[in-house]
Amino acid sequence: MEVILREAVEKLGHPGDIVTVSSGYARNFLLPRGVAYEATPGNKKRIAQEKERLEAAENERRAAAQAEAAKLEPVSLTFSARVGEEGKLFGSVTAGDIAHQLEAQGFKIEKRQIDLHEPIKALGVYKVGIRLHADVKPEIKVWVIKG
């Protein structure tokens, strides 16, 4: 049986995909939960129109993210920290600290958008990526200096 997915289903597909599943799976799980609907000719036509609308909205979000990325690229943040021997910091610079400083400069960036795998624990200059969109990931410079 062919169905059109409304939501992402693991190991099956993404919203808008037309997939073939067993009739029992469709009748007993996908259709009653509203996860999918039947792939009738009318529904196929409707999903094509909906895909165009979603694509246009996605392109708009990507353009907005690229405009924000152009503003973020020249940004450089400086953190002064207490330092022990061998240039090791007492504490660390985290994604939350970076998000807080970016917010002080007028950027609305959440800490989960900052691509910092581990907190910064040493002096130096670091390039930190920011995920604005799946396709747009600008990098900013983070300076950690002795304070």
The domain spans of the chain are 2-67, 69-146
User: Which residues are bridge partners to 93 per DSSP?
Assistant: 120
- For range 85-113, the mean pLDDT: 90
Domain 2-67 has CATH 3.30.1360.120: no
Which residue spans within 1-147 are E strands per DSSP?
Answer: 2-5, 18-20, 36-38, 76-81, 88-93, 114-115, 120-122, 124-130, 139-146
Nearest to 2 by CA among 45, 17, 32: 17
Q: Does the pLDDT at position 15 exceed 90?
A: no
Q: Which CATH architecture has domain 69-146?
A: Roll (3.10)
Which residue from 70, 120, 64, 113 is spatially nearest to 90, judged by alpha carbons? 120
Asked if residue 87 lies in contact with residue 123, where contact means CB atoms within 8 angstroms, the answer is: yes
Per-residue pLDDT at 21 exceeds 80: yes
Query: For the chain, how many residues are written?
Result: 147
Q: Are 145 and 127 in contact (CB under 8 A)?
A: no
pLDDT band at residue 49 using 50, 70 and 90 as cut-offs: confident
**pTM, whole model, 2 decimals?**
0.66
Q: Provide the token pair at 4.
A: 């059109």
The SS3 assignment for 85 reads helix
Q: What band does 30 get if pLDDT is binned at 50, 70 and 90?
A: very high
For residue 6, the 8-state DSSP code is: S
In the chain, pLDDT over 90 holds for what percent of residues?
57
Mean pLDDT over each residue of the chain, to the nearest integer: 89
**Is the pLDDT confidence value at 59 over 90?**
no
Fold equal for 2-67 and 69-146? no
Specify whether the CB–CB gap between 121 and 92 falls below 8 A: yes
